Amino acid sequence: MLPQLHRQPWMDSDIETFRDQVRRYIAAEMAPHLPAWREQGYVPRETWRPFGEMGFMLPEMPEAYGGTGASIAYQLVVQDELPRAEMPNNVQGNSIAAHYIMDYGTEEQKQRWLPKLSSGEMLLGIAMTEPGCGTDLKAIATRARRDGDHYVIDGAKTFITNGYTCNLLIVVARTGEAGSRGLSLIVVETENLPGFRVGRLLDKIGLHASDTAELFFDGVRVPVDQVLGGVEGLGFKQLMGQLPYERMTIAVPAAAIIDRALELTVEYTKERKIFGAPLFEMQTTRHKLAEIATTAHVVRTFVNDCIQRLLDGKLDAEAAYMAKWWCSEQQCRVVDECLQMFGGYGYMYEYPIARMYTTSRVQKIYGGANEVMKELIARKL
């Protein structure tokens, strides 16, 4: 049993009730289908419609745009519960991208897309990474050329979360000069769109039920009123403005996985016998679990503090970078140490700890590689 955390102001009884509702829904309506979804490599888009109807998709959106007007803490609770249940966090990508529309979109754009995203009718992704461009956004090569009242988009994207199942994309494209000033975000409705093609459903070492795809744009025509905010050249600034929240969507699942890995390992070591006694009774096991429990407590306390600062509008980018890299590093270390205590069974894919092991590794890569996070922190020292 982990020590009780100091209750932050955001952790009120309403949020605890909401958490319980989300957890029950996931267990009853989604978890039973997870093996089949892992096998096919994606969660069907229609799965998210009832999830949205329950108010779980984008609860933080204002009521005028289909949400409940709740604080962002409610969304982060969803992103805590999904990975805890081993569910692919499609909502993470959907929520990150939806906040671009909410914070930078024109009123017409908000009215057009946010209600459908909140209800689960539409699923959103952000097409940023390219085959030759990852963290270095200034090197984006996908181009959107103005042609009358349309943009013509040509290029390719890869490693796109929700890329296979989404029907709405925010595409990071070059509309102007080289470098950061020439980037724009263009919202693209992909259903039956000429020139748009989904390539391979990528075969990853983990997150097998989370679709990750290649995308191709060959002369794709999009009306100019779908550039986010109605103005060209603001893409880089818009991307940078969402970083604190985006980093928290990585730190929160890290805390959830650490908590769950500890629970599973304590349970297993109390049942598993070695030399005639439970593994838990070995001092080396108990001390290692004590170390992990301490790490879990510190991670959760740090994450809670960052959430509170995010809600207060005081979460600086550097703190978010710290939360992203440090919590994901602890996640990978803890899951590795927990797997070791399962012995050979820990290497069997049927055991949750094995799946957590492969799932965790990408946390140090996406959302900005941890080495980049450290460099960004160091620049402010």
Per-residue tokens: 25: 């829904």
Longest CA pairwise span in the chain (Å):
79
Active-site hit among 121, 246, 263, 291: 246
Q: Is the CB of residue 280 less than 8 Å from the CB of residue 286?
A: yes
**Spatial distance between the Cα atoms of 168 and 216, rounded to a whole number of angstroms:** 14
* 3-class DSSP string for 257-278: HHHHHHHHHHHHHHHCEECCEE
Q: Is 246 considered catalytic here? A: yes
State the pairing for strand pair 212-223/150-161. Answer: antiparallel
**Spatial distance between the Cα atoms of 122 and 72, rounded to a whole number of angstroms:** 20
Q: Is the CB of residue 15 less than 8 Å from the CB of residue 304?
A: no
Helix 72-84 and helix 90-104: axis angle, to 10°?
Answer: 160
**Spatial distance between the Cα atoms of 38 and 88, rounded to a whole number of angstroms:** 9
CA 226 to chain centre: 24
State the pairing for strand pair 143-147/150-161. Answer: antiparallel
**Spatial distance between the Cα atoms of 352 and 257, rounded to a whole number of angstroms:** 11
Beta carbons within 10 angstroms of residue 83's beta carbon:
24
**Spatial distance between the Cα atoms of 268 and 283, rounded to a whole number of angstroms:** 16
- C-alpha dihedral sign at 30, 360, 74, 264: positive
- Write the DSSP symbol of residue 67: S
Helix 13-25 and helix 72-84: axis angle, to 10°?
Answer: 40
Q: Is the CB of residue 58 less than 8 Å from the CB of residue 52?
A: yes
State the pairing for strand pair 124-127/168-174. Answer: parallel
Ranges of beta strands (E only) in 224-352 are 273-274, 277-278
Active site residues: 246
